[in-house]
Amino acid sequence: MKKLALKIDVDTWRGTREGVPRLMEALRRHKAGATFLFSLGPDHTGRAIKRVFRPGFLSKVSRTSVVEHYGMRTLLYGTVLPGPDIGRREAKLLRGVRDAGFEVGIHCWDHIKWQDYVAGKDAAWTRAEMHKAARRFREIFGEDARTHGAAGWQINDAALAYQQELGMRYASDGRGSHPFQPLDAAGRPLGVPQLPTTLPTLDELIGLDGLDNDNVHEHLLKLTESETATGHVYTLHAELEGMRLMEAFERLLAGWTRQGYQLVSCADLFDSQDLAALPTGRVVMGEIPGRSGTLALQA
């Protein structure tokens, strides 16, 4: 059966508390697997205000209401209000996700800090941030994380290499078309295999070409009509699909089921790949439609 992996990025404290439980219920209703990737340290969402100067950011905000999706209180964390420690406050909830049968992994330590700075940071900074997340994951779950999905699809070569040192099986850090083994600039294997996100996200589509909350699922379902040899990875967010875009997400789940997809975790999709025949490629930074700034792309 053809597979479509659901990768759930959990960026904020509110998304953890409110979006994650709702998504678990929806996934159970549709008999779907998924991978939850958690932000494990402080919620400093308010510090994203500096992105107002980034090209394309204001046009994206005008299409998708940031206040509506994230809430005013969340937008003050790290500026007017102290940033709550997500992993410390919600350890029991996070363990409940794993105990319910879903795959769990690392998204980041501090989402805003990673997304805004990692692309230009050195190995020492990168490893320190990842070490904090890996240590907190171990404290919460009693075992090491086996997968990683970079916040905002932001990554560097040091992070890719450190994933292997941390004992991860695979990662999903960027955007692309099929699973691959990353290479460094010299053509040598770098880190663990990557399962890139293959489909656009709802917030990249809504507000473009007449797409809205009520019909955006139709566009995505057209993209998955044709089967691919290696399956799809769809990234959703606890703050979006787990809240105000839940109805759109459930329409997607029903549509993918009708198309004959088995909705699985990223680990399940990874286990179905022929690793001996996995193609290689570089991870580069570039732009995609509907999202401001640059992000990690398969090349």
SS (H, E, C) the chain: CCEEEEEEEECCHHHHHHHHHHHHHHHHHCCCCCEEEEECCECCHHHHHHHHHCCCHHHHHHHCCHHHHHCCCHHHECCCECCCEHHHHCHHHHHHHHHCCCEEEEEECCHHHHHHHHHHCCHHHHHHHHHHHHHHHHHHHCCCCCEECCHHHCCCHHHHHHHHHCCCCEECCCECCCCEEEECCCCCECCCCECCECCCCHHHHCCCCCCCCCCHHHHHHHHCCCCCCCCEEEEEECCCCCCCCHHHHHHHHHHHHHCCCEEECHHHHHHCCCHHHCCEECEEEECCCCCCCCEEEEC
Choose among 48, 39, 121: nearest CA to 86. Answer: 39
- What is the pTM (predicted TM-score) of this model? 0.91
- Average pLDDT value for residue range 228-253: 98
Q: Which pLDDT score is estimated for 54?
A: 53
The per-residue pLDDT for 219 is: 98
pLDDT range class, residue 81, cuts 50, 70, 90: confident
The verdict on residue 248 lying in a domain is yes
In a domain, residue 169? The reply is: no
Residue 68 lies in a domain: yes
Q: Confirm if 186 and 143 have CB atoms less than 8 A apart.
A: no
CATH number for the domain that contains residue 74: 3.20.20.370
Q: What is the pLDDT of residue 74?
A: 63
CA pair distance 252, 241, nearest whole angstrom? 11
Assess if residue 175 is contained within a domain.
no
Which residue range is the domain that position 266 belongs to?
A: 3-153+213-276
In a domain? residue 254: yes
Lowest mean pLDDT of 49-63, 68-82, 227-241, 254-268, name the range: 49-63
The number of distinct structural domains making up the chain is 1
- 217 within a domain of the structure (yes/no): yes
Q: What is the mean pLDDT of residues 1-19?
A: 96
State the Cα–Cα distance between residues 75 and 56, nearest whole angstrom. Answer: 19
Residue 265 lies in a domain: yes
Average model confidence (pLDDT) across the chain: 93
Residue 256, domain member (yes or no): yes
